[in-house]
Structure formats: C-alpha cells, structure tokens
Amino acid sequence: MDITVLAASGATGRELTRQALERGHTVRAIARDPARITLPDSPLLTRIAGDVNDPQSIAAALQGSKVVVSGLGQTGKAAGPVLTAGARAVVAARPQHIVWLGAFGTGPSAPAAGPVTRGILKLALGKKIPDRVSADAIILEAGGCVFHAGPLTNGVLSPNRRTVSLKDAPRSIFPVPVSRATVAAAMLDEAEAAQFGGIALPLGK
C-alpha cells in the first residue's frame, strides 16, 4: 500500500513513517525540512519537502496520494492556525482516505473527557484549541477519521492496545497517557482497513 505521512519529521510522524515501512508499505514522508526525517534510507521511502503554510507545496507533495496519515501537531514555534491550514491542504488534494491526529478532550470528545481533563488542556493548549477543533471538523466533513489521543509519551507499543469509538470512551478523572508508538499503530490500522471513521480513540499505555 502507498501511504503518505504528513509532518514526518515530528516525533509522531517519524513513528508513523517507521511503522509504515516496517509493515512493508511504500511511504511518501512529507516535512518542511526532509533532512530532519531521521530514519534509515529505504527503497520504500521517499522524503518530500512540503510546508502546510504553503498550500502549493502540499498540493505538489500530495499529488496522486490515496491514503494520508498525519502526525501534524502544534509546536511552540508554530505561527497561526497550522492544523487548520494542514487540514485544508490535505482535503484539497482529495485523497481517498485521511487519518488525522487529534487530542482527546477537544471538540467532539470534550464531554467524554470530563472537567479535569478539559481544564488541563485549557491550561496546556490555551488559544490553540480552536485550531484543533477547526482542523478536526474539516477532516471529519471530508469523511476522514480523527484519532483523539491522550497525552503522548515516548513509551513502547502497548501489548494491550485497542481502538474504540467515541461512544465507548472510557471514563477517567485524569488524562490517560498513550505512547506515540501505540497511536501510530492504531492510525496505520485504520489506514490499512478503514473501520471507524469519525472520532476514534487509541488506548493502551
């Protein structure tokens, strides 16, 4: 399968790329600076320059892509609604399937997260939350799947990992962390065989 990874130089994007290659997929890895995609060279891997704030570069990078998975996040250096810009650029390319990374406790998953998680997110993300909500809405309207993950860690792939729909979200007073490896595996499962659509939750420490 051909998979395009957006934001492949970030921590989650690199894990998405690494696991996709490990599964035998052909991967187009997009990053503003492709040299920062610090993975071994592979005949299955193509590094491509693309900046979500430059829609033309993303359009060129995504040309012909059928499946797009995104590890795009909000860094302290990001200026403006970077997630919304990325979502619009991806949807404009009209891939057949989009798997997007979101945050549990924002937008549609806010009620399930509870007041403590929502309060922590408000402190951590502040004015960046509307950008997340906007981007998610764009992807969902286009028929994509958005994975609302808890706080991301650099832990190993959970042996107990599972994915549930939003209606089956477990109740917890405090945010439940999940490793990037576990999130990447769940997103790639969805890329390979679309099962959820809408909002999905990757679980497993």
What one-character-per-residue DSSP string does the chain give? -EEEEETTTSHHHHHHHHHHHHTT-EEEEEESSGGG--S---TTEEEEE--TTSHHHHHHHHTT-SEEEE-----TT--S-HHHHHHHHHHHT--SEEEEEEETTSGGGHHHHHHHHHHHHHHHHGGGHHHHHHHHHHHHHTT-EEEEE-SEE--PPPTT-EEEEGGGPPP-SS---EEHHHHHHHHHHHHHS----EEEEEE--
Structural domains of the chain sorted by starting position, each given as residue range(s) with its CATH number in brackets: 2-203 (3.40.50.720)
- Over 70: is that where the pLDDT of 184 sits? yes
**In percent, how much of the chain has pLDDT > 70?**
97
pTM of the entire predicted model: 0.94
- Over 80: is that where the pLDDT of 4 sits? yes
pLDDT tens digits, residue range 192-203?
999 998 999 999
**In percent, how much of the chain has pLDDT > 90?**
79
Task: Round the average pLDDT of the chain to a whole number and report it.
Answer: 93
